Amino acid sequence: MLGRTLSHYRILEKIGAGGMGVVFRAQDAQLERAVALKVVGEQAQVDQNARERLLREARTASALNHPNICTIYEAGVADGETYIAMELVEGQPLSAMISGDGLPVEVAIRYGVQIADALAHAHERGVVHRDLKSANVIVTPEGRPKVLDFGLAKRVIEAPGEATRSEPLTEAGAVSGTLSYMAPEVLRGEPADPRSDLWALGVMLYQAVTGSLPFQGPTGFQISSAILRDSAAPLPAHVPPGLAGIIQRLLAKQPGERYQRAGEVRAALEAIQPGVAASGAVPVVRVSRRRWIWVAGPVAITAAVLWVSIDRRSKPPAPAGGPRLSDGSRPSTNREANEYYERSLLFGGAGARQDIPQERRMLERALAVDPKFAAARAEYAFTHVIMILRGNSNDASWLYKAEDEIRKALQDDPGCGRAHSVLAIIHLLRGRKELVPGEVDRTLQTNPGDATAYSWLIFYHQINGDYAQAVQTAKQSIARWPLYWPGHAALGDLLREQGDTAGAIREEERILEQDPHNLQGLTFLAHAYLASGDLPKARQTLQRARGEDRKNYRLRQYWALLLAMEGKRAEALVEMDGEVEAYAGVYFRGPLLAAEFYAVMGDTAKALEWLDRAVRLGDDREDWLRRDPLLASVRDHPRFQQILASVAYRRAQRPRAGSESR
């Protein structure tokens, strides 16, 4: 076999064997690059159907192109032999790097971010790994983890009283993967899906920080029983509560209780260590001269990896400013209070399962344990604000209650970044926009990882009509937190107001790819269609909302606008009742939406009344007000010209007043 040519690959040396064939180091004669070549010969006990499945799965996986995934270049048949050509990666298996004490927490988080990003890339393209484990992750000498074998898992069968044995390739209904990393639903015979990969990621993270697997036993039966019924042993004290909460959620027995998307896991891990980009490599580790060859024998198709022994780095010092919670806030001195806080974030974050009553209960428990826990009190205040932002309430008293809670939080911790962030949005909602930049500055000085602070700054620049700054801030937010949907929502709304309807639609659809029922994404997308005059698509978009959201005030305001544009005046007025008008008065985007509604309805007096109210609350979007197609019926009215003149004057005075601090 050595020296011969298989297709256009020249085989150089055998570097391992496993599964159904042999792995060679080979040279691609066409592209002149080294590859790992897995060859499945005629002697292997593989039928034609299995070969076809092998090729189909290999070709599916070859569509993946990500810096943290070992690339499959090609799969084919030559000279009666099936082969798979793949990237030849230098590095060390993650399993070999994990000692009895585990990895430093910071290193585990960095690897976790990149592995989660690789999973997100694959899942978005319909590829589920099905055999994710630390032995299938190689860490390169530059410190970049590479995941092997996407879409190429095999089935594992265990007979009573026998050792675990494996059979190549996956089949419908087969149990696939490595037992210690299998999700409960897979053990029950259910098909693996992306959430099964997330369970395996949870096992890997647990193993990375503890040095041991969460579910163990002397036999396969006992391991399976532990996975199905037992809780993992508590994580050691050195594991931060934020990371512990992420691991616990990943290891939830029911798939619906885990993170639903790998991108959510990536965002949660990034929040613990702000600034760690998924594509960024960890610092270079020292490489010894000792070289090893590694091939995972039990895997049906395994990327051959040439690796070198790598010395582990010593644990880096703790970041300046002391320990932080998963959202970057300062923790309580009480561990139980911190645990309740972290649990609350599972029900309130932008990518989380949103359940405000449950979030509130967790925060109330945190505050009962530590009444001076400033971050928990600030987050509790934010649960009041979010009732307005999401359209669940039209009661302005929520804002006063929130502000009272924030004042208490700042008395206990004047430097609480979360409190300053929440105060920024309260100022914006109450018409005190000039105070927003200062609060955002105070937030980011203490917690540069507060993504919401960027959102408030985007809103501030947008309301000021400063689109260049608003777009720049939105793009900075997206670059740092690609899966934080409010950044995409804000950018889409900015593009709509700049006349880029296609760009607006693209950004809002990105949100809906993550959550098809996201109300902000749906309403902003519908607004883009309304502005372009595409009423059927606007209607189709609003109809995508869940039935239980039909009473949402925010959604109803957009329904009223659609009905008005469709000429259904009676229905439109029923929708825009006193309750919806009350909401328009407390939500900072509401007054202009109401002005658009009454302008379309032909009620000039009410349209101008709401426009005047919007401007008095600080809406300085002069350029947009002159171009907004939904205000066309009132644009020539003298009162409209007076309102625009007042906006122009205020904008002209702003630079001299020094109000544009950012």
What are the catalytic residues? 131
Query: What burial class does residue 44 get, using C-beta atoms within 10 Å of its C-beta: 0-12 exposed, 13-18 middle, 19+ buried?
Result: middle
Give the integer Cα–Cα distance in Å for 282 and 293.
Answer: 23
CB 434 within 8 A of CB 659: yes
Tokens describing residue 271: 């929040």
DSSP 94-109: HHHH--TT---HHHHH
Q: How many residues are recorded in the chain?
A: 662
- Of all helices (H) and strands (E), which one includes residue 307? strand 305-310
Tokens describing residue 362: 């967790």
Give the integer Cα–Cα distance in Å for 59 and 152.
Answer: 10
CB 449 within 8 A of CB 476: no
Inter-residue long-range contacts of 645-651, CB under 8 Å, 24+ positions, other chains counted: 646/615, 647/465, 647/615, 647/619, 647/620, 647/621, 647/622, 648/622, 650/620, 651/464, 651/465, 651/620, 651/622
Q: What is the CA radius of gyration of the chain?
A: 28
**Among 65, 64, 90, 201, residue whose Cα is nearest residue 143:** 90
Q: Rounded to a whole number, what is the largest CA-CA distance in the chain? A: 90
The answer for residues whose C-beta is within 8 angstroms of residue 181's C-beta and 6 or more apart is 131, 132, 133, 199, 200, 203, 204
CB 36 within 8 A of CB 75: no
